[in-house]
Amino acid sequence: MAIHERSLVDPERVLRKERLVIDGVDVSGDWNLIILPRVINDYDLEFLDEVLQQPEGKTITQCYQCSYCTASCPVHNYWDERYNPRHFIYLARLGLIDELQKRADVMWRCVSCHKCTHRCPKGVLVEEVLKAILRVMAKRGIIEEYPSKKFDKFFLESVYEYGRIEDGELLFGWVEKQGYQVVKDPILKKPIPFVGGVPDWLKQLAAKPLKSMNIGFLVLNAKHMLFHPRTKNWNRFKQVLRKVMEEEGVFTH
Amino acid sequence: MAKSVLVVGGGPAGLAAARTLGKLGIPTILVEKEQKLGGRPVIEDYHTLIPRKMTPQQVIGPFIEEVQNNPNIDVKLGVELEACEGEAPNFKVKLSNGEEHEVAAIVVATGFQHFDAKRKGELGYGIYPDVITNLELEQMFSREGKLYRPSNGQLPKRVAFVFCVGSRDRQLGVTNVHCCRYGCALSGLQGTEIREHYPEVDVFCYYMDVRTYGTWEYPFYWAPQEKHGVRYVRGRIAEITYNPQDGRLRVKHEDTIVQRPAEVPMDLVVLVLGMEPSEGTKKVAKILGLAQDPDSQFLVPAEDAGSNIISNKPGVFIAGACKGPIDIESSLSEGEAAGAEAATFIGAKVSA
Ligand SMILES: Cc1cc2nc3c(=O)[nH]c(=O)nc-3n(C[C@H](O)[C@H](O)[C@H](O)COP(=O)(O)OP(=O)(O)OC[C@H]3O[C@@H](n4cnc5c(N)ncnc54)[C@H](O)[C@@H]3O)c2cc1C
Ligand code: SF4
Ligand code: SF4
Ligand code: SF4
């Protein structure tokens, strides 16, 4: 049997059985298709309260669903119909959490171009509001941390550890974090560049600047990768930084 | 004998017509079938009026006072128009108290009546005590000064407004296809009042589309959402049921933005009532031979008049909600216009 309005039916609600017997009656064949009902049973109204507590979330109540934002969004055109800023706002306002969750994997694709915010006739700071919604979702553990967020965290950890950034270590450390097999030196346990399961495109990408680098700089870089220098007195500054970051809720470790 | 004018109906429109006529020194008879002047807003104790957020007493009170104190105006309460003979400017009218008068012009301002919500049985009005009308909510505010669930007297946690009950609905036949015009705005105001007095109560407005005309847009659509946290849900409630387990109502609708059916618990549901022509309007239309809309039965102005207060009968003027849903300010100004038009009508005859 055909399902009409297929787009409205989530795959997990479609049950198809080879043989189906209900109350002793064999209904296999044409009637072997069951679509489970999908009814909204309640709103989660605290979600909106949480969005409103974010400084960027305040303008969310101004939206009247005209859709100027979505129509002007460059990402919307290149992504599936689930990427819809206007819709995210609507769902967040009513606290339709499961609907938001269904879109969790596309919501972070906003490129922060702010076209939406500039067009909105109601003065909703759309891009900011989306970020506030994402933050609340992340806080609730509804949304998986998205890749750029993960990188930000890795970057931050590196700065936090040494008080500075070492490009090579950052790059190959990140490659390792992505699950590639990297070979490490036996003493300091640092990843050795270009060795192991590093993907070819990355090897090419990293090799390009090497060709134009002067030898002294290259050696310095290699040395820094193995013996990572720290900013002077970093340990003392780290304590202060840690306190500030904890107070601001940036991280908690 | 000076020519006089009969005004039928003592609501906002009739009061304004009589007041204008009286001020112009024209002998005026104002008949009102109830024992009180002021029309629906006064007789039925509306609480706060859109758009100026004043009480009926503040808005209509001054008109009532002026009409009662003007010696040119003869106010007859508990009196209806029963019969009318002759043509303008020599109408012979018979009233329900047996009196007969000769008048040169007539202003009809017989108003509307509220839609009977029991006709939409699926919404549970008259079945579940916690389903009330917006008129009853007004009276709850104005007579009892508090918000509560009729079933148990407690404060509701959630209130839902259902827009367009008895309006824009072909299922009721062609009689109720028009927009009530005040409902969206009044709900915005009522929702705001609830949120102001009981910030812990959540308010939802279920709508097909929101029609807060002209300058009402900001105070009664945006402010409720932006300042007071009233939530708007697009999708009309199709059915209201009751769940004995938690003693709460369930409102069934499809959220048309999410494209999903929903069945959400509510503690109090407020039906936003449409307007229908009052019995008095239909009766007076017959007596005077006024044109009525074949569908809604509201009075319709003369086609070629270019003005909506001039009826198809020379010398008869129509104002206010007897012609269809309208707000109080417009009823007042239509009444004034009809009064002035009636005055020029008889003035022109006098000088001829
Ligand atoms: C629940 C509700 C809330 C509303 N709130 C607002 C608001 O906040 N602000 C706003 O602007 N508008 C509001 N309105 C609309 C407002 O009620 C109307 O605009 C207004 O009442 C119309 O005035 P009217 O004089 O034309 O009619 P009516 O108020 O209906 O007055 C007609 C009068 O004529 C009398 N009458 C009828 N037949 C006869 C007869 N045969 N002989 C003698 N007398 C007769 C009636 O008894 C009545 O007193 C609301 C309407 C509803 C339903
Ligand atoms: S443009 Fe603004 S008001 Fe319109 S849907 Fe987008 S956020 Fe809402
Ligand atoms: S800021 Fe994000 S949501 Fe807004 S238009 Fe750009 S990509 Fe779309
Ligand atoms: S004013 Fe609003 S509630 Fe009333 S009929 Fe029109 S759209 Fe419906």
Say yes or no to pLDDT of A253 above 70.
Answer: no
Nearest-angstrom CA–CA distance, A144 and A135: 11
Question: Would you say the C-alpha torsion A132, A135, A140, A144 has a positive or negative sign?
Answer: positive
pLDDT of residue A41: 82
Tell whether omega for the bond before B150 is within 30 degrees of 0, i.e. cis: no
Q: What is the mean pLDDT of residues A30-57?
A: 87
pLDDT of residue A166: 80
Instruction: Report residue B292 as tokens.
Output: 């009525």
Rounded distance from Cα A150 to ligand 3 centre (Å): 21
Q: How many residues does chain B have?
A: 352
Nearest-angstrom CA–CA distance, B11 and B326: 13
pLDDT tens by residue, A117-129:
999 999 999 999 9
How many domains would you assign to chain B? 2
Q: How many CA atoms lie within 13 A of A252 on its CB side?
A: 3
Smallest Cβ–Cβ distance between B259 and the set A8, A61, A94 belongs to: A8
Both B102 and B135 in one domain: the answer is no
Percent of chain A with pLDDT over 90: 28
Q: B218 in a domain, yes or no?
A: yes
**Residue of minimum CA distance from atom 48 in ligand 1:** B39
pLDDT of residue B349: 46
What number does the ligand 2 atom closest to the CA of A62 have?
A: 3
Percent of chain A with pLDDT over 70: 96
Ligand 1 close to Cβ of residue B27 (< 6 A): no
Which chain B residues are within 8 Å of A124, Cβ to Cβ? Answer: none
Vertex B219 angle, CA B213 and B220, to 5°: 60
Q: B351 in a domain, yes or no?
A: no
Is the minimum CB–CB distance between B245 and chain A shorter than 8 Å?
no
Both B160 and B229 in one domain: the answer is yes
Give SS3 for A15: strand
Both B240 and B130 in one domain: the answer is yes
**Confidence label for A228 from pLDDT (cuts 50, 70 and 90):** confident
pLDDT of residue A250: 67
- The secondary structure of residue B119, as a DSSP letter, is G
Within 10 A of B22 (CB to CB), how many other CB atoms are there? 23
Containing structural domain, residue B163: 117-273
Both B261 and B170 in one domain: the answer is yes
Residue A207, amino acid: A
Vertex B345 angle, CA B342 and B351, to 5°: 135
Q: B191 in a domain, yes or no?
A: yes
Nearest-angstrom CA–CA distance, A140 and A142: 5
Per-residue pLDDT of chain B (352 residues; tens, 9 = 90+): 469 999 999 999 999 999 999 999 999 999 999 999 999 999 999 999 999 999 999 999 999 999 999 999 999 999 999 999 999 999 999 999 999 999 999 999 999 999 999 999 999 999 999 999 999 999 999 999 999 999 999 999 999 999 999 999 998 988 899 999 999 999 999 999 999 999 999 999 999 999 999 999 999 999 999 999 999 999 999 999 999 999 999 999 999 998 888 999 999 999 999 999 999 999 999 999 999 999 999 999 999 888 999 999 999 999 999 999 999 999 999 999 999 999 999 984 443 3
pLDDT of residue B126: 96
User: CB of A106 within 8 A of CB of A82?
Assistant: yes
Which chain A residues are within 8 Å of B225, Cβ to Cβ? Answer: 61-62, 64
Which secondary-structure segment (H or E) carries B293? none
Which secondary-structure segment (H or E) carries A164? none
Is the minimum CB–CB distance between B223 and chain A shorter than 8 Å?
no
Q: B352 in a domain, yes or no?
A: no
Closest-CA distance, B263 to chain A, in angstroms, reads: 5
Q: Please, which residues have CB within 8 angstroms of residue B80's CB and are 6 or more apart in sequence?
A: B8, B31, B33, B95, B96, B280, B283
User: CB of B166 within 8 A of CB of B274?
Assistant: yes
Give SS3 for B248: strand
CATH number of this structure's domain A45-140 = 1.10.1060.10
Query: Pairing relation of β-strands A33-35 and A182-184?
Result: unpaired
Of B235, B253, B273, the residue that ends a domain is B273
Q: B166 in a domain, yes or no?
A: yes
Both B122 and B269 in one domain: the answer is yes
Ligand 4 binding pocket, CB closer than 6 Å? B 163-164, 167-168, 179-181, 183-184, 211, 272
The runs of H, that is alpha helices, within chain B are 12-23, 39-43, 56-69, 134-139, 183-197, 217, 223-226, 279-288, 328-351
Both B94 and B185 in one domain: the answer is no
Rounded to the nearest angstrom, the gap between the alpha carbon of residue A105 and the centroid of all alpha carbons in its chain is 7
The runs of H, that is alpha helices, within A41-166 are 46-53, 68-72, 74-78, 85-94, 97-102, 104-107, 115-119, 126-139, 147-162
Backbone angles phi, psi at B232, to 5 degrees: -105, 130
Candidates A129, A133, A128, A67; CA nearest to A96 is: A133
Smallest Cβ–Cβ distance between A99 and the set B231, B232, B258 belongs to: B258
Say yes or no to pLDDT of A79 above 80.
Answer: no
Global confidence as pTM: 0.82
Rounded to the nearest angstrom, the gap between the alpha carbon of residue B24 and the centroid of all alpha carbons in its chain is 28
**Residue of minimum CA distance from atom 8 in ligand 4:** B164
Both B135 and B241 in one domain: the answer is yes
CATH number at residue B23: 3.50.50.60
Both B211 and B291 in one domain: the answer is no
pLDDT of residue A59: 95
Residue A60, amino acid: I
Say yes or no to pLDDT of A96 above 90.
Answer: yes
Measured distance between the N- and C-terminal CA atoms of chain A, rounded to whole angstroms: 55
Rg over alpha carbons for chain A, rounded to the nearest Å, is: 25
Residue B128, amino acid: Y
pLDDT of residue A251: 60
Which of B212, B251, B255 is most worth mutating to test chain A (most A CB atoms within 10 A of its CB)? Answer: B255
Ligand 3 close to Cβ of residue A124 (< 6 A): no
Both B130 and B217 in one domain: the answer is yes
Which secondary-structure segment (H or E) carries B264? strand B260-266
Rg over alpha carbons for chain B, rounded to the nearest Å, is: 22
Closest-CA distance, B49 to chain A, in angstroms, reads: 25
Rounded to the nearest angstrom, the gap between the alpha carbon of residue B350 and the centroid of all alpha carbons in its chain is 36
Domain ranges of chain A: 6-35, 45-140, 164-238
Both B229 and B266 in one domain: the answer is yes
Of B228, B253, B273, the residue that ends a domain is B273
Nearest-angstrom CA–CA distance, B309 and B312: 10
**Residue of minimum CA distance from atom 38 in ligand 1:** B280
Number of the ligand closest to the Cα of A92: 2
What number does the ligand 3 atom closest to the CA of A130 have?
A: 3
Q: What is the mean pLDDT of residues A221-226?
A: 80
Both B153 and B246 in one domain: the answer is yes
Give SS3 for A166: coil
Both B241 and B312 in one domain: the answer is no
Ligand 2 close to Cβ of residue A122 (< 6 A): yes
Residue B240: exposed, middle, or buried by beta-carbon count in 10 A (0-12, 13-18, 19+)? buried
pLDDT of residue A85: 95
Of B255, B273, B291, the residue that ends a domain is B273
Give SS3 for B247: coil
**Confidence label for A1 from pLDDT (cuts 50, 70 and 90):** low
Nearest-angstrom CA–CA distance, B124 and B129: 9
